[in-house]
């Protein structure tokens, strides 16, 4: 190939995407302004202005930032973007649950962009966004689909916050934006009132980014989600639990799932490192724990594995003395799993014992079952569909209609 042809191809190649300011925290924004050469005396004011437009108004274009002078807006637009993670596909369940497969901006040459999932669960009086903290997971819980995928990388704080920005864009959940007219949406001032770190990944293995992201999510001048409405779910990374209380200050959920070490070793292999007693001692000592600020214990209902009456009685015995809520989660099966969800009357009998011990409404209603809403399932399902679509293309069959995609 001739040199001129190579030069031609190079010039046609899209330039690397500019850094997005959407999702960045105050310190990161300050650093970006320094890079841009904004004088030190102006920087605080500029950060405050950007903050307002990005996190209070949901601006997706610098041109909309009318309180910032034209020249400054142009300079910002030349160096940065307000891009969000790219929506690869959206699934809407018949119960109103929405699930997005999101592709992050590529991190360098050869990176096609990591993919993660985010789920929105509307209820009557609240809307919960379930966010991912890592791409994949290093842990290998045997009932979890994410556990079968390797860890690709940690998400950055901006990529965690970006999931909320995308969801608010899609739902029209910004002041003055046209809200989606969907009967399944909550009748509440905000469509997204709660955040749970229950998507892909173990948030306590990405502590600093999760901490930074929570700072931005909870900041009173922007997204303003109270830390009491943000829940971090962990499979039990005991050494990080005290710092979660003192430095992050959100609500805590523990994926317990078994009451005996032998079984928990199998379901949540991290238990071999941090067994049940050690985990519950860390919970008892959790900073800020009170009856008004309880720890949620998650317990996935697996048929004939952990769902006997004896298991239920042992569960309430183990938790005695810890201000706790118990969330019974019907197992959401995925292709190839060796587990089944407990029968409904078994779940009811189990929950009756838990209820009689003083824990209210403990069964989490399965949501979005028709769109595979459990942890890690959308991503692999889409990968499979894509592989199938490629095969069909290769054999000359049209792939349209295989899956809804914004591409």
Q: Which residues bind ligand SAH (CB under 6 A)?
A: 141, 143-145, 198, 201-202, 233-235, 255, 298, 300, 329, 331-332, 334, 374-375
Whole-number Å distance between alpha carbons of 342 and 71: 62
Which of 295, 291, 316, 301 shows the shortest CA–CA distance to 364? Answer: 301
**Exposed / middle / buried, residue 360 (Cβ in 10 Å: 0-12, 13-18, 19+):** exposed
252 binds ligand SF4 (CB under 6 A): no
CA distances from 27 to 23, 157, 210, 212, 216 (A): 12, 12, 15, 10, 10
How near is the Cβ of 235 to ligand SAH at its closest, in Å? 4
Q: Would residue 141 show up in a list of annotated catalytic residues for this protein?
A: no
Which one of ligand SAH, ligand SF4, none is in contact with 100 (Cβ closer than 5 to 8 A by kind)?
A: none
Of 119, 144, 301, 326, the residue at the interface with ligand SF4 (CB under 6 A) is 144
Which one of ligand SF4, ligand SAH, none is in contact with 135 (Cβ closer than 5 to 8 A by kind)?
A: none
137 binds ligand SF4 (CB under 6 A): yes
Q: Which spans in 113-192 are helix H?
A: 157-171
Q: Residue 204: what are its φ and ψ, rounded to 5°? A: -80, -5
Which one of ligand SF4, ligand SAH, none is in contact with 374 (Cβ closer than 5 to 8 A by kind)?
A: ligand SAH
Q: How many residues bind ligand SF4 (CB under 6 A)?
A: 13
Of 144 and 315, nearer to ligand SF4 (C-beta) is 144
How near is the Cβ of 342 to ligand SAH at its closest, in Å? 11
Q: Would residue 117 show up in a list of annotated catalytic residues for this protein?
A: yes
Q: Give the 3-state secondary structure of residue 262.
A: helix
How near is the Cβ of 270 to ligand SF4 at its closest, in Å? 7
Evaluated on CA atoms 179, 98, 232, 211, the torsion sign reads negative
| All residues at 6 or more sequence positions from 15 whose CB lies less than 8 Å from its CB, including other chains | none
| All residues at 6 or more sequence positions from 100 whose CB lies less than 8 Å from its CB, including other chains | 87, 88, 89, 90, 91, 117, 118, 119, 120, 166, 167, 170
How near is the Cβ of 290 to ligand SAH at its closest, in Å? 22
Whole-number Å distance between alpha carbons of 152 and 137: 8
Q: Which residues 221-250 are close enough to bind ligand SF4 by CB under 6 A?
A: 235
Of 161 and 329, nearer to ligand SAH (C-beta) is 329
Interface residues with ligand SF4 (CB under 6 A) are 137, 139-141, 144, 146-147, 200-202, 235, 255, 375
């Amino acid at each position: 190939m001739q040199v001129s042809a190579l030069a031609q191809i190079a010039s046609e190649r899209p330039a690397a995407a500019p850094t997005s300011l959407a999702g960045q925290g105050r310190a990161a924004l300050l650093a970006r302004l320094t890079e841009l050469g904004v004088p030190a005396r102006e920087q605080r004011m500029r950060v405050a202005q950007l903050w307002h437009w990005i996190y209070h108004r949901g601006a997706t274009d610098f041109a909309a930032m009318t309180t910032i002078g034209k020249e400054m807006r142009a300079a910002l637009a030349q160096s940065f973007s307000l891009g969000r993670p790219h929506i690869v596909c959206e699934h809407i369940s018949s119960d109103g649950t929405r699930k997005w497969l999101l592709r992050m901006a590529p991190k360098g040459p050869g990176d096609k962009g990591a993919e993660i999932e985010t789920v929105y669960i509307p209820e009557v009086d609240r809307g919960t966004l379930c966010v991912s903290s890592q791409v994949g997971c290093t842990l290998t819980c045997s009932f979890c689909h994410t556990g079968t995928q390797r860890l690709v990388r940690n998400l950055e704080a901006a990529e965690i916050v970006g999931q909320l920005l995308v969801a608010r864009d899609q739902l029209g959940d910004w002041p003055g934006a046209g809200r989606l007219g969907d009967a399944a949406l909550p009748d509440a001032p905000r469509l997204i009132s709660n955040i749970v770190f229950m998507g892909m990944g173990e948030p306590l293995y990405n502590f600093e980014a999760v901490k930074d992201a929570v700072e931005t999510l909870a900041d009173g001048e922007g997204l303003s989600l109270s830390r009491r409405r943000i829940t971090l779910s962990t499979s039990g990374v005991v050494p990080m639990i005290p710092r979660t209380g003192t430095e992050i200050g959100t609500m805590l959920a523990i994926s317990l799932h078994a009451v005996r070490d032998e079984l928990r070793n199998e379901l949540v292999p991290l238990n071999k490192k941090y067994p049940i007693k050690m985990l519950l001692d860390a919970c008892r000592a959790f900073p800020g724990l009170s009856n008004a600020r309880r720890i949620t214990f998650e317990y996935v209902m697996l048929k004939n594995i952990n769902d006997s009456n004896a298991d239920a009685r042992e569960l309430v015995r183990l938790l005695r003395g810890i201000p706790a809520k118990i969330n019974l989660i019907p197992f959401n099966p995925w292709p190839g799993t060796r587990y089944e969800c407990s029968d409904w009357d078994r779940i009811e009998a189990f929950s009756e014992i838990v209820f009689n011990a003083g824990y209210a409404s403990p069964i989490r209603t399965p949501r979005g079952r028709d769109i595979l809403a459990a942890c890690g399932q959308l991503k692999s399902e889409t990968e499979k569909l894509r592989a199938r679509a490629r095969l069909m293309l290769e054999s000359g069959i049209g792939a349209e209609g295989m899956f809804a995609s914004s591409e």
